[in-house]
Chain A
Amino acid sequence: MANYKDIIDNCKSTKGGIIEAFHALQEEFNYIPQEALTEAARVFGLSEAQAYGVATFYSYLSVEQRGKYIIRMCESAPCHVAGADEVIKAMEDYLGIKVGETTADGKFTLELCECIGQCQATPVISVNSKPIFNVTAQQIPEILGQYK
């Protein structure tokens, strides 16, 4: 695993680049670990409280530990009318967790999100930012079964 200090150092020259650094950290760890947040605040000249304020403002960023695969279900109106609720239910049943939780083996975190801009194929979920189209409740075991 890459060192969080190196990851932050790589973004140091980007003006106002703390959000870029957070993205790079999440790419590696799937969330922003506490010590990395402290380091990012130092590098970008912010107080820790300010850095925390930035990290918690954005729904894509997380300061809580998350699973290896982050599943996000779009709940916006077009996906809602296309049956998002049934897909959420199917995922909760299949994973044995509720929205916002992570499976005990640390594999999956289930989150809700708003439109991810793939509305030609509603309802849409994404797994680690990769969109999956026209999802039905029946397909959930098959789709999620592919993630090892």
Chain B
Amino acid sequence: MNMAEEMRVLLEYADKINPESAEDYIKVGGYEGLKKARSMERKDLIDEVKRSGLRGRGGAGFNAGMKWSFVPQDVPVKYVVCNLDEGEPGTYKDRMICQKNAQALLEGMAICGHAIDSNQGYIYCRGEYPFVVELLKNAIASAKSSGVLEDFDIEVRMGAGAYVCGEETALIESIEGHRGEPRFKPPFPGVEGLWGAPTVVNNVETLACLPYILVNGADWFAGIGAEKYPGTKILTLTGDINNPTYFEVPTNYTLRDVIYKLGGGIKNGKKFKAVQVGGTSGAFIPEQNLDTPIDFDSMSAIGAALGSGAVLVLDETRDIVDVVTRISKFFEHESCGKCNPCREGTFRCREMMEKINSGKGSENDMDNILLLSRVMQKAALCGLGQAAPIPIESTIKHFRHEYMRKVL
């Protein structure tokens, strides 16, 4: 019913091919992109990806070709790492890509491998997806035995339930067998990553776009969706919505259409209150901003973030302060404790949110949270601590009246 609204590139053959089978994938045109990539000079390949405008789908929105171009060429060992940690609450799009089109991810990794002259890839899969680990291992075996990957090897490693391990340097620490604590940057992974070697870390969705860019050309990709963040994006809808499922849309699709066309509107005939985009670290967005396209820059312009593409919809009856209190517990729990602004800050945010939520807080607590929020955004070491106060800050801004109902 919603297929007409969607634009399926990564998910075109969803449920029509066996994601584990390289043969199935080859029958629908798979591994042609890798062939083309391998016929190109490395520099031309990187330029082609740059020109396509493909930007990271893991949250930071960095130009993929640009990231690859930082990898030094005069080093013997380099790694391609796929980020399948997918810890952002409300997100399961990377799982869908694997379960529907795993071979495209493997092909994308091999394309990246050719571009940076690496023959070893790692997929870091979250511990909550043991069945995806199995699927990927079978998919890799199938691709290896069909010969398409040539000398490019891929190993799957499993995380163990730590949201911070989605941060690229924490992820690298975890593959190395350490506690998943983020590293200081610079040096960036592209220069000094896994076991000290230059490493490209890309999200599943970013990598899975590559075969289609190679086959159809950079101009084709650059022409889809938003000009500065082209391509499609897979969104996952949760909360008070009639169709809580996943969709692939061009990046100039608006939030309103996501909610009312694809999402089928608010459940039980209720009215809209707020939507949180990008997962639990995203800002809450009020009704007046719903006509914003979902692309990276348009979302940034309204003080929000596309993030992972999770879309949590809340209806008019929801208690925003209660939901944000729950979110503040998430960050306290997931803070790795390495740096003070986040370790202490997430603790204090949770403490003050609980106080406000239980009717014991004051406007002074709200002012303190906003001050702490500024400190965390500026001083936390990694994106976890920097983003942790954003749900609170955005709701105090847009839904202050809901807080005022609860404070003394």
Instruction: Evaluate whether A120 and B312 lie within 8 angstroms (CB atoms) in the complex, with A59-B162, A115-B90 already known.
Output: no
Closest Cβ–Cβ distance, residue B184 to chain A (whole Å): 18
Closest Cβ–Cβ distance, residue A124 to chain B (whole Å): 10
- Asked whether A58 lies within 8 Å of B160 as measured between CB atoms, the reply is yes
A137 contacts chain B at the CB level, 8 A cutoff: no
Residue in contact with A117 in the complex, picked from B126, B179, B240, CB distance below 8 Å: B126
Instruction: Evaluate whether A16 and B176 lie within 8 angstroms (CB atoms) in the complex, with A23-B158, A60-B127, A78-B238 already known.
Output: yes
Closest Cβ–Cβ distance, residue A36 to chain B (whole Å): 15
B255 contacts chain A at the CB level, 8 A cutoff: no
Q: Chain A residues with Cβ under 8 A from B327's Cβ?
A: 77
Bound CA span A96–B177, Å = 37
Residue in contact with B246 in the complex, picked from A22, A23, A44, A120, CB distance below 8 Å: A120
Residue in contact with B276 in the complex, picked from A18, A44, A77, A115, CB distance below 8 Å: A77
Most chain B beta-carbon neighbours within 10 Å: one of A20, A54, A59, A114: A114
- Asked whether A22 lies within 8 Å of B160 as measured between CB atoms, the reply is yes
Residue in contact with A76 in the complex, picked from B130, B179, B236, B330, CB distance below 8 Å: B330
- Kindly state the interface size class of chain A when it binds its partner: 35 or more
Instruction: Evaluate whether A16 and B177 lie within 8 angstroms (CB atoms) in the complex, with A81-B318, A120-B244 already known.
Output: yes
Closest Cβ–Cβ distance, residue B246 to chain A (whole Å): 7
- Asked whether B312 lies within 8 Å of A78 as measured between CB atoms, the reply is yes
- Asked whether A117 lies within 8 Å of B92 as measured between CB atoms, the reply is yes
- Asked whether A115 lies within 8 Å of B87 as measured between CB atoms, the reply is yes
- Asked whether A115 lies within 8 Å of B89 as measured between CB atoms, the reply is yes
Residue in contact with A113 in the complex, picked from B129, B158, B161, CB distance below 8 Å: B161
- Asked whether A80 lies within 8 Å of B244 as measured between CB atoms, the reply is no
Q: Chain B residues with Cβ under 8 A from A75's Cβ?
A: 326, 329-330
Bound CA span A23–B157, Å = 11
Q: Chain B residues with Cβ under 8 A from A78's Cβ?
A: 89-90, 238-239, 312
Bound CA span A60–B180, Å = 13
- Asked whether B238 lies within 8 Å of A122 as measured between CB atoms, the reply is yes
- Chain B positions 78-105 with a Cβ under 8 Å from a chain A Cβ: 86-92, 95
Residue in contact with B177 in the complex, picked from A19, A115, A121, CB distance below 8 Å: A19
A57 contacts chain B at the CB level, 8 A cutoff: yes
Residue in contact with A57 in the complex, picked from B90, B91, B128, B180, CB distance below 8 Å: B180
Closest Cβ–Cβ distance, residue B272 to chain A (whole Å): 14
Residue in contact with A114 in the complex, picked from B89, B157, B178, CB distance below 8 Å: B89
A118 contacts chain B at the CB level, 8 A cutoff: yes
Closest Cβ–Cβ distance, residue A147 to chain B (whole Å): 18
Binary flags per residue of B344-387, CB closer than 8 Å to A gives 1, else 0 = 00000000000000000000000000000000000000000000
Closest Cβ–Cβ distance, residue B241 to chain A (whole Å): 10
- Asked whether A129 lies within 8 Å of B312 as measured between CB atoms, the reply is no
Q: Chain A residues with Cβ under 8 A from B336's Cβ?
A: 57
- Chain B positions 117-167 with a Cβ under 8 Å from a chain A Cβ: 126-130, 157-163
- Asked whether B323 lies within 8 Å of A81 as measured between CB atoms, the reply is yes
- Asked whether A59 lies within 8 Å of B323 as measured between CB atoms, the reply is no
Q: Chain B residues with Cβ under 8 A from A20's Cβ?
A: 157-158
A127 contacts chain B at the CB level, 8 A cutoff: no
Residue of chain B at shortest CB distance from A18 = B177
B216 contacts chain A at the CB level, 8 A cutoff: no
Residue of chain B at shortest CB distance from A60 = B161
B175 contacts chain A at the CB level, 8 A cutoff: yes
Q: Which 5 A-B pairs have the closest CB atoms?
A: A60-B161, A16-B177, A58-B160, A76-B89, A115-B89
**What are 5 A-B residue pairs whose CB atoms fall within 8 Å in the complex?**
A23-B127, A76-B89, A76-B280, A78-B239, A120-B244
* B residues adjacent to A (C-beta < 8 A): 86-92, 95, 126-130, 157-163, 174-180, 195, 236, 238-240, 244-246, 276, 280, 310, 312, 314, 318, 323, 326-327, 329-330, 333-334, 336
| Other A-B pairs, 12, CB within 8 Å; known A57-B336, A119-B90 | A16-B178, A16-B195, A19-B160, A19-B174, A54-B177, A54-B178, A58-B180, A81-B323, A115-B88, A115-B89, A122-B244, A129-B128
